[in-house]
Structure 1
Amino acid sequence: MRLSLSVLLVTLALCCYEANAIVCPSLGKDMIAFLFQHEALYKPHLQLAYNPPEAALNAKLQVKSCTDKIPIVQRKLIAGVLEKILMKCVF
């Protein structure tokens, strides 16, 4: 539960400030991939999209391994909330 709250707070902070509204579409895609893609697909996605340092990549994948333990039904609920937040940012 704490992880999902953290994800929502980060999304709000990055997305719902007018100067960052342009980030919303790519942030949405990344958050959905974070919630639903298998780690084997998500790691190359991160490397191509952001070229992060190895430590940052490993840290994100470690958090993803925790997120992957959340039941799919709960992850769908989190994705629905994220979608509503992103829609507020865009419009």
Structure 2
Amino acid sequence: MKLLVSLLLVTLAICCYQAEAVVCPAFIKESTLFLFSPESLLRLSLAKYNAPQEAVDAKVEVKKCTDEMPFTDRTIIAKILTKVTVKCGL
């Protein structure tokens, strides 16, 4: 539950900070990958950012916790993210 709240707060901050704010399409893609894809695809996607290995490992570690959530809960999170992006005019 703590992860859900954190993810939603970050998304709201990014999406709705200003009336003209636009979420980067990469953020939406990364959020979807984070929720539904296997670890190998997430690592491949993160490789394009040239992030330090420690940062990638930390994100993958959090993903392992997310992967333990039921699929239905992850789907609910994705639906909420979709509503937020639509509300923000994306």
TM-score by length of 1: 0.88
| Per-residue deviation, 1:17 | 1.7
Alpha-carbon distance in 2 for matches of 1:43, 1:22 = 25
From the two aligned structures, give the one with the greater helix fraction.
1
Residues paired across the two proteins, number:
90
| 2:6 aligned residue | 6
Report if the CA contact (8 A) 2:23-2:85 is conserved: no
In 1: Cα distance, 2:77 partner to 2:52 partner: 27
Match of 1:25 in 2: 25
Superposed CA offset, 1:36-87 (max 9, x none):
0000111011112x22111111111111110010000110000000000011
- Cα offset, 1:19, TM superposition: 7.8
Tell me how far 1:3 sits from its aligned partner. Answer: 0.6
- Could you say which residue in structure 1 is the equivalent of 2:74? 75
Matches of 2:21 and 2:32 in 1, distance apart?
Answer: 17
Matched, 1:59 2:68: no
TM-score by structure 2 length? 0.89
Identity of aligned residues (%): 48
Distance 1:28 1:90 in 2: 13
What letter corresponds to residue 63 of structure 1 in structure 2?
V
Structure 1 counterpart of 2:15: 15
CA–CA distance in 2 between the matches of 1:28 and 1:43? Answer: 16
